Structure 1
């Protein structure tokens, strides 16, 4: 089993095109880009047709079997995308998945997209047969070093000449948002074609181009990134952002953390799913749950209530300083 990231995929495909690829992860942009890259290489090898089968229930697997059986003398090389949208991994499904190797042949290139089942597939030992000799394409949203490596790859692909400090600044502010940073890089190409892009240019670009939202500030707080959180708060202050929106957004998320702290044997992932927290933000709630203690959370909630009362009494003079104090306490 080889775990391949998007920034490595092109090199792998250049060396060899396999007949089975497994996509693990739910990052919509990475899923599309990886699929597009494989299909492009496949078309160069004569796989000119593309078919998709959605697996919503166990019986849908019969469509896969029928697809392989319908091969005849006039069958053209085809890329088959099997898209798993079934809600849960079950025994019947696992048995079928483990038998995939018996279906493979040189005229059909198969891509298995497990989407929300990805973590279950990754952890399930019963699927060892599938993972044994398969190329696993990682489509999880990258962070830290993986995010940096991916951006470096995209910069190279787009022939962008950029200062290293400027690159790391982009990583700092856009980490975890693959589609957005990809669009940012596309804008950079248009804005400064054949130009060395310095850190000063990127700083100005971020101010002009980027519009922060309350969740960016809250994510930075939950992750304990003080400088980033204060920077975003100052951005809101300078742009006269509605303070009440910030207060209520932070209150809402801090209360979720308090509820999490009160639960004795909590399944954090299940709790976040039940609370309809987006998958991109789950990471930040887990960080916050680990590093912010209950007393600090409770103190922050009380401070937010007092700030809101002051606003209603038209006493707004110290609101931004108080929000900065809360930010520092939580970080």
Structure 2
């Protein structure tokens, strides 16, 4: 919470009140062009009232997965449950480390818990786009460097990983993503977990 008075900036470090969290979610949702109903604001605040960093990450995640769409309660609960156990960040970090065993283990957990493959595809797409940006040596990374700030830890070297993933691997990964999305569109209930495992291992 920031308050400005001419050239002076005051930083309020107190724990945000519930009404302040409501206003923040409302403001952030509007800025990121995501639609969250008031009743779902209550669910989000209930889970993140003592974890403002987690709240920021949560809002960023849903803005990446469902841009310009109304976010229903089921989708919100799915993200919260996933973040509270195995996280997308852990999954991506193990891919970066090349740890195939851990990568598969987390994917198996996602499958058992019936998480949406579409969410996983979006996270992987964002990861791949960051890799491509680093390969091109661009200073501006789309999604406001979301992966670098919130999913990747300081101990992981994304730039080093970008050097190890050659263009052929990137091409195969993008091709696999397209095939998975096409399969889901044709039949949403179709099992695509084997393809997701192959895609993750391609990037490991």
Distance 1:315 1:218 in 2: 24
- Measured after TM superposition, the shift of residue 212 of structure 1 is 1.2
- Out of 157, 163, 169, which is 1:296 matched to? 169
Are 2:148 and 1:275 equivalent residues in the alignment?
A: no
In terms of Rg, which structure is larger?
1
- Which 4+ stretches in 1 moved above 6 angstroms? none
Q: Secondary structure at the match of 1:296?
A: helix
Which residue, 216, 220, 234 being the options, matches 2:108?
A: 234
Rounded Cα–Cα distance in structure 2 between residues aligned with 1:316 and 1:288: 33
CA distance in 2, matches of 1:235, 1:299: 25
Query: Equivalent residues in 2 for 1:184-195 (5 A)?
Result: none
| Bigger strand share | 1
Report the counterpart of residue 88 of structure 1 in structure 2: none
Judge conservation of contact 1:300–1:330 (CA < 8 Å) in 2. Answer: yes
RMSD between aligned residues: 3.1
Q: Does 1:261 align with 2:135?
A: yes
Cα distance in 2, alignment partners of residues 236 and 310 from structure 1: 19
Aligned length: 122
Looking at secondary structure, tell me which structure has more helix per residue. Answer: 2
Give CA deviations for 1:189-221 in whole Å, capped at 9, x if unaligned.
xxxxxxxxxxxxxxxxxxxxx611222212211
- 1:100-179 aligned within 5 A: none
Cα displacement (A) at 1:261: 1.3
Work out whether residues 219 and 281 of structure 1, in 8 Å CA contact, stay in contact via their aligned partners in 2: yes
How big is the shift at 1:302? Answer: 1.6
Report the Cα offset of residue 234 of structure 1.
Answer: 0.6
Answering whether residue 187 of structure 2 is matched by residue 308 of structure 1, we say no
The separation in 2 between residues aligned to 1:225 and 1:243, in whole angstroms, is: 21
Question: What CA distance in whole angstroms lies between the structure 1 residues aligned with 2:176 and 2:121?
Answer: 10
Q: Distance in 1 between matches of 2:143 and 2:124?
A: 19
Gap runs ≥5 in structure 2:
1-7, 9-83
> Does the alignment pair 1:330 with 2:203?
yes
Contact 2:94 2:103 in 1 (8 A): yes
Q: Unaligned regions of 5+ residues in structure 1, if any?
A: 1-59, 61-209
